[in-house]
Structure 1
Amino acid sequence: MNHTQQLVTTNPNLTHQNQVQTYNTLTFSEAWEFFFQGKISKDKLYSEVRAGKIPHLRLGTKILFRSATLETWFQQQELNSIR
């Protein structure tokens, strides 16, 4: 475990925003935990990723997300919901 990972996993006083900014690239599980905060099931997240509704990158069997891209996507989803 590198220093950045230790900082995020051992400091419960960090806010969600601070935790996410610590990472540039997130694995599927990290994105589910930090961005979606377990509010949807992992199966639902997989389904949305497979449908191309959530920006991501596939490297072999790995699904990766960029923190800034997910943050922008969230903001756009919020704006779309009030139109």
Structure 2
Amino acid sequence: MPRYFFHFRNNDGRLTEDFEGQELDGLSAAQDNAMASAKEILAEGLLSGSPVLTGLFFEICDENRKLALDLDLAKKPGNAGEL
């Protein structure tokens, strides 16, 4: 199974890198994983009374560390070639 890395960029532009990654069935499974994480992040913010954050996104890289998908928490996901 391919390994995907889920880097997280906050609204200040700071990147938190995922150095371990996760083995998943493919890019679709990686997108599903990132969507679940994004929902969790947004829910935690809402439950704590924080405003809904925009400008946060995941950069999903493949096992060659090449950007495969970006997932903006405020927009529809797009393939890396559509950036």
Bigger radius of gyration: 1
TM-score by length of 1: 0.31
Please state which structure has a larger fraction of its residues in strand: 2
Please state which structure has a larger fraction of its residues in helix: 1
